[in-house]
Chain A
Amino acid sequence: MTLLRLIERNLAQRRLSSLLTILSVALGTMMVCAILVARKEVDEKYLRQAEGFELVVGPTGSGLELVLNSIYHVEQSPGLLPYSVLGQLQAQKRYVRAAVPYALGDSFKGYRVVASTEDLFSQYFPVPPGDGPEKMLAGRPFSCPGEDLEEALDNLRNRKAEEAHGKGHHHANEAVLGWEVAKKLGLKIGTKIEPSHNVEGAKKHSHDDTWEVVGIFKRTGTPIDRVVFINLDSFFRIPDHAGGLIPGTGEPGLSSILVFPRGGFAKIRLMSTLRNRSDLQVAEVATQIAKLLKIVGGVREFFLVMAWLVVLTGVIGITVAIYNTMNDRRREIAIMRSLGARRSTVMGVVVGEAFALGLCGSLVGLLFGHVLLAFAQEHVVELSGIHLDAMRVLPEELIAIITVSLAASLAGLLPAWKAYRTDVAENLTPLS
């Protein structure tokens, strides 16, 4: 105990040097911990959030972009897909259990607005789990009657959107909110909301369309929590969305269609059929995520190596900080030896100081790492749609702390060796 006190006092006596050394170790450990947690969280959540989603059909282009846009609600929509594809997919009942269309283009106070059909509330749409009202925390699913949708589409095809709007007061503009949208914005059932045009929410619509909040989804822990869903017929009734017609075809467009195939070979057959078409692409969610994690993984490993190098610099700093004090401490060591301290005890005190610096540095780094994650949370959500759990401590982090502490102890061996070799008589008192 007294030796522990001696270690503590020795470090306290060189307060500034000790603090700077701890800080340098902490910075490296902070980066390591933050990267480890972010890696784990992103991997798990990307995979978990995509659970239950199988295929996304969309315009030709990047499959990864399509998946990111449709499942994680990040990135821009890659383009438009003919609305008729939805009908074609729904007609293939042998292969398709459900096909849920997505039409993007609007936002509400920073949250994406996605237009869809009542299939969004079917049991096949995986989040929130359940069928119809089971998915709801409050209220009910929106309605998207087939006749209203057909009427809106007809008007759009015939460029009669303005008229449709003028006459369309009897049509329901309904919205179902993700859990986070409702909570953060304090929205309740019955509230009227007015989305803005384009996903950045920069432009307001040229008219005063409002949507009534009819339901709030249960919390899912997925990007769905941050989405405002509206009925697809209301989306097509917005006059500004006349531009949603695919150029050259006059056909209304969708951003993507989430397809839930039947079991067995249905998925393979369906993919094979769709891949033969040149006007669309089909992206398998699992494959695209694996591709993304592989790309991101390489970058992350690079940053992790960099972080460990910063830790190494801090550990070398421990050696330097203690070694530089050894000349001044020869007398202290000689005193301890004269009182009966073994050489190994003296070495132990020096190694103990190095260990204490490493342990303190890594613990402070752990704390800093999680504070950093907490501060970065909002930014990460915007970038990736992933909500990082900043309070999650991984076993890997504890292993990192043990590794840093042990490395620090090893760093203490050089000055400890110098302490070990200190001549007692020479440094105790001058010869008389």
Chain B
Amino acid sequence: MSIELSNLRKEWEHPSGVRRTVIDLPRFLAQQGDRICLVGHSGSGKTTLLNIIAGIVRPTAGSVIIGGQDLFALGESQRDFFRAQNIGYVFQTFNLLQSLTAMENVMIAASFAGMGLKEARTQGTELLSRVGLSHQNDTKPAKMSVGEQQRVAIARALINKPQIVLADEPTANLDQENGTEVLELLKETTVEANSILLLVTHDLEVQNRFDDVRILAEISHDAASTD
């Protein structure tokens, strides 16, 4: 599985009618097993880029080829299923469903990928154990610490054995100790699965833990236009 972005551009239209280009990326390539830290300042379009790769946001122009498949050539429903099966997404704000337990939060992602209930439970149990939360299977997010919540989110992102893991500022809401643990967990699990880890951050500490650091402003066509 690889990620190939070509001549990717995303514009947002302000209510005033003025169009603003937030992404203008001539080329971006990530191969299986890459662990990339994508760096950019606030408003540089990092999250938008991840959302485009996830198939959530349609680019204004350019192509997004994931594993040889033109993502936006797929219908919306097919793209949703593709995302469920191939892409794990970890958010800055964890984005757990508050009404469900840790196990159910993990299992619900499996249900969207068409995994059977029994297998989902087995995988969920394994993953929660892997992230050190085997004792919290039936705990709801509100009763967990932020570090624990992010670990649940990582387990959820990994349950469908995705080839691509997208992480959007996953440590931004965590203290240093929890942040380090979560980061290591993300790296370890993606190394084990030999999947692509694409993590965006503006945190120098986080950047220093990656060998492949790409600065969004430098790889974009016109850095000034995205500021």
User: Chain A residues in contact with chain B, CB under 8 A?
Assistant: 1-3, 5-6, 9-10, 12-13, 331-332, 335-345, 424-425, 428-429, 431-432
Contacts and interface: CB of A to CB of B under 8 A. Distances in A.
A259 to B, nearest CB: 71
A339 to B, nearest CB: 5
A12 B85 CA distance: 30
Contact of B104 (A5, A425, A431): A5
Nearest to B118: A1
Q: Shortest 7 CB-CB distances between A and B: which pairs?
A: A340-B84, A9-B99, A340-B112, A432-B47, A339-B109, A335-B95, A340-B83
Interface stretch (B51-59, B189-197, B206-214): B51-59
A5 B104 CA distance: 8
Interface stretch (B29-37, B73-81, B175-183): B73-81
A343 B77 contact: yes
Nearest to B52: A425
Given A335-B96, A340-B83, 15 more contacts: A2-B111, A3-B111, A338-B89, A338-B91, A339-B89, A340-B160, A344-B77, A425-B48, A429-B47, A429-B92, A429-B168, A431-B22, A431-B47, A432-B44, A432-B46
Contacts of B46: 432
| A-side interface mostly | helix
A343 B76 contact: yes
Nearest to A430: B47
Contacts of B120: 2
Contact of A335 (B87, B97, B104, B169): B97
Given A337-B80, A429-B91, A5 B54 contact: no
B108 A6 contact: yes
Nearest to A344: B77
Interface of B: 12, 22, 40, 42-48, 51, 54, 56-57, 76-77, 80-81, 83-85, 87, 89, 91-93, 95-100, 104, 107-113, 117, 120, 156, 160, 168-169, 200
Contacts of A343: 76-77, 80
B95 A428 contact: yes
21 contacts: A2-B100, A2-B110, A2-B111, A2-B120, A6-B99, A9-B100, A332-B98, A335-B96, A336-B97, A340-B83, A340-B112, A343-B80, A425-B56, A428-B51, A429-B47, A429-B92, A432-B40, A432-B45, A432-B47, A432-B168, A432-B169
Contacts of A344: 77
Given A339-B112, A340-B85, A5 B100 contact: yes
